[in-house]
Structure 1
């Protein structure tokens, strides 16, 4: 009887201890959680010039809710995000597409609201800061060297699948398999990668990055879309400390794309493209001055991973600007200046400008059309100015205003003059 009492007491103590431990682990899941509401307002005014006839103005409101959990038992968690966007004003236009990426109705002269989940995934982690592994499964925002769903509009795009990452001190290795996309312009959860009537089963990626203690970084990534495209990307960068808060960053990139099966261009039409990109950035305290050069060879660079929307691909070059300087045989350079005003009495204010110019675009790209009546000039150029201010203190802390103006001459798509105003307020709920 005494033994039974001791056993019962031991069981009760064990159960109480277990319950306490589980409660503590659950508290970590909850206590380390956070939620942020992002309120966004975006105005775009785009108009054609030099014979490119269109006038497109749109003003939209968006809301994005991001929830991040802690980790239960310091291992597993769950993140969720949802957004909604609707128009405030959009004068009718017949250009065939909209600027803010709200979906158009049947007559193409108006846009419709969107709302829905754009992230919902399980996450897990193992190890410590020197040796760790991380996993995500579900719908998630992601960005690697060759696969980067767009976040440039009022709501972001995302991808559905699995992402794995391992870190050993300065080495990172990762792999991903994406099976569906959530478009930045639709309310649906996710849909298959498509090329016309063909479904692309998945986009698979593997990559690695290593950062040496002397400032040298090496990066590589390979990706393939089933029966569609395969791509390779390599990058090396090196930071030279010049003293007195001055440094020089040198960056070299190379990428190569080929058809991977018969779906991209058909069995009798092989596709291949490559680009070389060099960039140098001189940083002197709060001032950055940079210059970049890019050459695209063999064919136009195909950033997309399917035949329907160009929202997941990447032209990972310093010449991926207002227009992509990634056309066959194109040689392009850019020079830019950015400055942060924190140390001269205007904390939170930063501004910049850049000018890009290219030439030698393949003549077959210069096709005459109503949108692009100028066909003899194989040169493209643009001049962009931008400024951003973020409130640093007070009840409106983290409220930001971003303004950008771009004037571009594009011999393959027509000349444009564009203005963007983006307002954003990130409110921490808990």
Structure 2
């Protein structure tokens, strides 16, 4: 079905008034002040990325701060409110030629600024279980538009965001986004990007939602248009089979279809990317196998909110810390293991490891003028990635909810020129504090 931006937003409004994403009911409103909250988050992030082929290394360390105020709604049939946020970061280390490339700090002509900050706000209105927001600090998170929160401060967007949950089990949302602020920027007027091509769009529209059929089965469907770049569609089906109180099987299927749109700023695009994952959980242990395939002569691409940055709008099973295994015609398989130490007397401690191997990357059929042509003419590129992740969250006491997380990833290229072999370490320390 072909649709333009006006038709998309109109359809979204119509759909959402009969559907959303866990929006509370206006009938339960206690008032603008009575239902308000103020939360403070500090995040310390050290990021070290070493490349083995002589390319630039990335090493940055900073301290981030976030203050989020969320008002309640005025009482009555129609409720009104406001949300506001303040973001700040301080450079702790990032000199000697390493700063400004990891996306942790805000770059300047000398590498990275010593400190930076920004503010944002949104007005909101609610009727029944349907909510509409307009502002410049919106943070939707869905398969086709998901600003990342993996650096010191999150990416945010300007625009309209509609959410609704009128029918039990059915959640829906729609958005018309007109400007972006990246996680390493204080400029709220940036464009949106097709991350792998580097081409930008000034408008993104999306529409979609999820339906929980029962405790075991859920499905979701989304569509998005990045103006003059692509139209993208997404479907997910998730099924959990409970074997007994200690064991279960889960099957998760994701598929994206992406076609070029309008002026085709990123060139010809016709990709179908999908993944299937099967997970077996027994007590504290989860074992998962996954298969992923991109059927198309360009890579599967997704949201960027600044030049050279990548956000979270990729729900494929093998998307990983360093690479996404989404090259043209690429296939990949993954093996995952996760352990929750609560069963062994250490609640709050979790551990994960995964290994993913990709092959058959073939950029030889790509148009020579494509912005993706850095894949070159090789038709058998291979690579692999291995990740470790350990996290501990303090369970009680004065430091309750303080978390420490260590992530390490290794990526190696077997043959090919589209990426580099590299090693990365991230150390993240967070402390959330509820002021009221």
- Provide TM-score, normalisation by structure 2: 0.82
Deviates more, 1:312-321 or 1:238-247: 312-321
Deviations 1:198-241 (A, max 9, x none): 98452111113211126221111111122221111111111111
Q: Secondary structure at the match of 1:357?
A: strand
What is the CA distance between 1:389 and its match in structure 2? 0.5
Q: Distance in 1 between matches of 2:365 and 2:340?
A: 39
Residue of structure 1 equivalent to 2:279? 281
What is the CA distance between 1:105 and its match in structure 2? 2.2
Q: Secondary structure at the match of 1:379?
A: strand
Residue of structure 1 equivalent to 2:125? 124
Deviations 1:275-297 (A, max 9, x none): 01101121223322111111001
Contact 2:221 2:236 in 1 (8 A): yes
Residue of structure 2 equivalent to 1:390? 393
Query: Hey, which bits of structure 1, 4+ residues long, moved more than 6 A?
Result: 194-199
Contact 1:126 1:134 in 2 (8 A): yes
Contact 1:60 1:100 in 2 (8 A): no
Contact 1:287 1:338 in 2 (8 A): yes
Contact 1:383 1:408 in 2 (8 A): yes
Deviations 1:326-356 (A, max 9, x none): 1001101111111111121111111111111
Equivalences for 1:343-382 in 2 at 5 Å? 343-364=343-364, 378-382=381-385
Q: Distance in 2 between matches of 1:110 and 1:181?
A: 20
Residue of structure 2 equivalent to 1:88? 92
Residue of structure 2 equivalent to 1:272? 270
Residue of structure 1 equivalent to 2:327? 327
Q: Distance in 1 between matches of 2:30 and 2:349?
A: 39
What is the CA distance between 1:114 and its match in structure 2? 2.1
Find out whether 1:421 has 2:421 as its counterpart: no
- Judging changes above 3 Å, is the alpha-carbon distance between structure 1 residues 194 and 52 closer, same or farther for their aligned structure 2 residues? closer
Residue of structure 2 equivalent to 1:46? 49
Residue of structure 1 equivalent to 2:212? 211
Deviates more, 1:302-311 or 1:314-323: 302-311
Residue of structure 2 equivalent to 1:73? 75
Q: Secondary structure at the match of 1:30?
A: coil
What is the CA distance between 1:401 and its match in structure 2? 0.2
Equivalences for 1:170-319 in 2 at 5 Å? 170-193=169-192, 200-213=201-214, 215-265=216-266, 269-298=267-296, 299-304=298-303, 308=307, 310-311=309-310, 314-319=313-318
- Judging changes above 3 Å, is the alpha-carbon distance between structure 1 residues 406 and 372 closer, same or farther for their aligned structure 2 residues? farther
Q: Secondary structure at the match of 2:303?
A: coil
Residue of structure 1 equivalent to 2:134? 137
Q: Secondary structure at the match of 1:243?
A: coil
What is the CA distance between 1:315 and its match in structure 2? 2.0
Q: Aligned pair count?
A: 391
Calculate the aligned-residue CA RMSD, in Å.
3.0
Q: Secondary structure at the match of 2:335?
A: strand
Q: Distance in 2 between matches of 1:346 and 1:197?
A: 45
Gaps of 5+ in 2: 1-27, 367-373
Q: Distance in 2 between matches of 1:271 and 1:376?
A: 18
What is the CA distance between 1:169 and its match in structure 2? 0.6
- Provide TM-score, normalisation by structure 1: 0.83
Deviations 1:177-218 (A, max 9, x none): 111111111112333447999984521111132111262211
Deviations 1:358-400 (A, max 9, x none): 111115499xxxx999x89711101111110111111111111
Gaps of 5+ in 1: 1-24
Contact 1:338 1:351 in 2 (8 A): yes
- Judging changes above 3 Å, is the alpha-carbon distance between structure 1 residues 312 and 363 closer, same or farther for their aligned structure 2 residues? closer
Deviations 1:123-174 (A, max 9, x none): 23332xxxx2222221211111111011111110011111112220112232
